[in-house]
Amino acid sequence: MGIVLLRMSTLFLRTLRDDPADAEVPSHRLLVRAGYIRRAAPGGFSWLPLGFRVFRNVERIVREEMDAMGAQEVHFPALLPREPYEATGRWTEYGDNLFRLKDRRGVDHLLGPTHEEMFTLLVKDLYSSYKDLPLSLYQIQTKFRDEARPRAGLLRGREFTMKDSYSFDVDDAGLERSYAAHRDAYIRIFDRLGLEYAIVSAMSGAMGGSKSEEFLHPTPIGEDTFVRSAGGYAANVEAVTTVAPDPVPFDGLPEAHVEDTPDTPTIETLVAVARELFPDAGYTAESTLKNVVVTLVHPDGSREPLVIGIPGNREIDAKRLEAQVAPAEVEPFTEFDKHPSLVKGYIGPQVLGGESESKIRYLVDPRVVRGSRWITGANEQGRHVFDLVAGRDFSWDGVIEAAEVLPGDPAPDGSGPLELARGVELGHIFQLGRKYAEALELKVLDENGKLVTVTMGSYGVGVSRAVAAIAESTHDELGLCWPREIAPADVHLVATGKDPAIFEAAETLSAELVAAGLTVLYDDRPKVSPGVKFKDAELLGMPTIVTVGRGLAEGTIEVRDRATGERQEVPVADAATFVLAAARG
């Protein structure tokens, strides 16, 4: 950011005493109250002078690290034609989150949510040989997504700034290298931004690729749940794989038997009755197999009932299920009248599966291994079957990771029990592979003169979201509290009182600091009380607050560290040197 003297008397800024009514989280409240941003539309914000300086500082760090890793900056329009997105299927698959619009001729367009298609086509346009690769391109650009729930100010907007980059390689080993280079750059970016993060393995969802990791900032206000173990495992909930028990031999297992279990439509009531019937069996909710019916809506619009069998102590995790069945979407199942074999509350696997009469697809949790024994529905009102053995008494069409992950579940890599935490996604890196290059026919000649499909990676950082995440993680009860590299100014210089000598001294000190290369926010307002000025300085959050006031009579000024609150009286003659040293750490 350019070095300047910002005068509070003329700065386009109004700080607010009250929190905005719609602000749910501290960063949103404070950024609005401190006059950094203003809401302009649902999920859309305008940057005011101080806010835009913060934004550009974050952007600069991202840009420096992308340039340093060898990626080249380009810039695309946000208004894009439909065809490329049609070719990859995303015009439809992106669902309601995509802003679609028509031009005056009735031709379909969209506002880019990410730009895989456009980058692929640009490279196809200009490159044709393996000698041109590897290549990484990026842009820092406005993205549009019609989010179901824009919230928390900059954290989830409908219009936001993303750094998106794309790598192009001739083979898988090249993609691995490009991916690793981006991963390293992201580590440097988030370290420089001072943001805590966990790198979690993720599912790539609608993007359709293979390896993928997210940089999640742990915070209770996050919308992403992730899991971690003390031993260093971290994963998105969607990506957690279940540690399945070993199969059990059938020999010696009891025969299945049906029991009357009146009024047991829930797992709780069922377990109570099971314990009454068999007091010594040690039955718990985990002994039961709960069969949950959902409707899958496939991209072609067809609807399919699907039953998922999970241990009764768990619920279906909607996000895990959606990730597994994408691009199909999940809706609640309501058509019991059309499927008489499904007895609500008493569904059992005997009537399910591709082999069965109902033909209803049946998928089970990985814990349902051959030889495992279950209490489950007997497909009749008020009756359950006990000791129903998987693989002996019933079969299934496949295994699905749709059950919720519970604290204490083992980490798949053996690194200990999992704990659940919440986070905000700061960045996402993934290996797209050849999906986009295939759909859009991006091929190059390899060393042997043979045409090969290029393999790609795509990588995103939420630039505007990072501003909010930094505000969120650094603020205190007084207001914002910026790290030095991010702050809109190095120093907030407050002149208090009415004495012209004070304003003269403050003016001189400001000029000295600016000349030495610092940006100074100078509160030169003549008729504002010291109390109001200090409150503003605390709210605005520059890292160093310098006060020129009463102390001047004794030849001193006060220098305060905004983050630690530490104050020091410094002789006027040494003030510039002292503040400079503080600002340069």
Residues of this chain that interact with Mg ion (CB under 5 A) are: 428
16-51 CB burial, b ≥16 within 10 A, e <16: eeeeeeebebbbbbbbbbbbbbeeeeebebebbebb
Closer by beta carbon to Mg ion, 197 or else 386: 197
- The Cα–Cα gap between 75 and 571 comes to 50
Which helix (H) or strand (E) segment holds residue 523: the answer is: strand 520-523
Q: Is 157 in the site for ligand ATP (CB under 6 A)?
A: yes
Provide, rounded to whole angstroms, the least separation between the CB of residue 45 and ligand ATP.
10
Nearer to ligand ATP, 186 or 333 (CB): 186
For residue 562, the minimal CB distance to ligand ATP (Å) is 27
Site map 113..132 versus ligand ATP, x via CB under 6 A: -x------------------
Q: Give kind and range of the element (H or E) at residue 37.
A: strand 37-41
**Residue 90 sits in the site that holds ligand ATP (CB under 6 A):** no
Nearer to Mg ion, 202 or 494 (CB): 202
Binding span for ligand ATP by CB under 6 A among 3-11, 45-53, 101-109, 153-161: 153-161
State the nearest-atom distance from the C-beta of 546 to Mg ion, in Å.
42
The Cα 71–Cα 564 span in angstroms is 38
Q: Choose, by CB under 6 A, the member of 428, 492, 533, 560 that binds ligand ATP.
A: 428
Task: Decide: helix, strand or coil at residue 298.
Answer: coil
Task: Give yes or no for a cis peptide into 327 (omega within 30° of 0).
Answer: yes
Q: How far is the CB of 322 from Mg ion (least distance, A)?
A: 14
Asked if 425 is part of the footprint of ligand ATP (rule: CB under 6 A), the reply reads yes
Between 425 and 523, CB nearer to ligand ATP: 425
Of 9-17, 66-74, 154-162, 191-199: span binding ligand ATP (CB under 6 A): 154-162
CA distance 496 to 346: 76
To ligand ATP, the closest distance from the beta carbon of 240 in angstroms equals 16
The entry of ligand ATP, Mg ion, none that residue 349 binds, CB within 5 to 8 Å by partner kind: none
Q: Residue 447 and residue 426: Cα distance in Å, rounded?
A: 38
* Candidate ranges 131-139, 460-468, 477-485, 491-499; the one touching ligand ATP (CB under 6 A): 460-468
Q: Is 160 in the site for ligand ATP (CB under 6 A)?
A: yes
Which listed range, 69-77, 178-186, 357-365, 426-434, lies at the site for ligand ATP (CB under 6 A)? 426-434
Q: Give yes or no for residue 367 binding ligand ATP (CB under 6 A).
A: no
Nearest approach, Cβ of 460 to Mg ion (angstroms)? Answer: 7
CA–CA separation, 162 vs 145, rounded Å? 12
CA neighbor of 16 nearest in space, from 4, 28, 2: 28
SS3 state at 527: coil
Which of Mg ion, ligand ATP, none interacts with 462 (beta carbon under 5 to 8 A by kind)?
ligand ATP
The DSSP line for 38-79 is EEEETTEEEEPHHHHHHHHHHHHHHHHHHHHTT-EE----SE
Scan residues 310-349 and list those touching ligand ATP (CB under 6 A). none
Residue with tokens 């439509």: 265
What is d(CA 367, CA 357) in angstroms, rounded to the nearest whole number?
25
How many residues form the binding site for ligand ATP (CB under 6 A)?
Answer: 16
Shortest Cβ 171–ligand ATP spacing (Å): 25
CB of 42 to ligand ATP, least distance (A): 12
Q: How far is the CB of 27 from ligand ATP (least distance, A)?
A: 12
- If the CB atoms of residues 42 and 408 are measured against ligand ATP, the closer one turns out to be 42
| Nearest approach, Cβ of residue 90 and ligand ATP (Å) | 12
Q: Does 462 bind ligand ATP (CB under 6 A)?
A: yes
Taking each helix axis as running N to C, give the angle between helix 500-515 and helix 575-583, from 0 to 180 degrees, rounded to the nearest 10.
50
Would you call 11 exposed, middle or buried from its count of C-beta atoms within 10 A (0-12, 13-18, 19+)? middle
Largest CA distance in the chain: 97
Residue 196, interface with ligand ATP (CB under 6 A)? Answer: no
Q: What is the DSSP string of 207-239?
A: G--S-EEEEEEE-TT-SEEEEEETTS-EEEGGG
Distances (CA, A) of 494 to 268, 475, 538, 542, 578: 64, 20, 11, 12, 16
Interface with ligand ATP includes 405 (CB under 6 A)? no
Judged by CB under 6 A, does residue 465 bind ligand ATP? yes
| Amino acid letter for position 8 | M
Selected binder of ligand ATP within 312, 423, 460, 488 (CB under 6 A):
460
Residue 156 binds which of Mg ion, ligand ATP, none (CB < 5-8 A, kind-dependent): ligand ATP
Q: Please choose, from the candidates 239, 185, 233, 219, the residue with its C-alpha nearest in 3D space to the C-alpha of residue 65.
A: 185
> Is the previous residue joined to 249 through a cis bond, with omega within 30 degrees of 0?
no
Residues at the interface with ligand ATP (CB under 6 A): 114, 145, 147, 156-157, 160, 162, 224, 425-428, 460, 462, 464-465
